[in-house]
């Protein structure tokens, strides 16, 4: 599953990044995304459900859907 597929309030953990988008992965790592981080979808914007607002390590981060689609996640069982 990828980060853009979460429902509001759903919590997951980052498991990796989609191959083939290395420039975007560098950007995502610079703003704090890393494997095993806990992420929660807090809000979807009003226009086309964008931007997406995530809580990542006690910080709120906004991403576009295509950026969130590059992050692979796993929900707790």
**pLDDT tens across 45-71, in order?**
988 788 999 999 899 999 999 999 999
How far is the C-alpha of 23 from the C-alpha of 12, rounded, in Å? 24
Percentage of the chain exceeding pLDDT 90: 86
How far is the C-alpha of 49 from the C-alpha of 64, rounded, in Å? 9
Please give the model's pTM, rounded to 2 decimal places: 0.91
My answer on whether omega of the bond before 42 falls inside 30° of 0, hence cis, is no
Assigned token pair, 18: 């989609």
Are the CB atoms for 37 and 25 separated by under 8 Å?
A: no
Q: How far apart are the two ends of the chain, measured CA to CA in Å?
A: 14
Number of residues that this document lists for the chain: 77
């Amino acid at each position: 599953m990828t980060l853009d597929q979460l429902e509001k309030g759903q919590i997951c953990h980052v498991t990796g990044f989609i191959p083939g988008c290395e420039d975007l992965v560098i950007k995502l790592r610079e703003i704090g995304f890393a494997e095993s981080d806990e992420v929660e979808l807090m809000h979807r914007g009003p226009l086309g459900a964008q931007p997406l607002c995530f809580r990542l390590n006690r910080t709120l981060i906004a991403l576009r859907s295509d950026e969130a689609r590059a992050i692979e996640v796993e929900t707790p069982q």
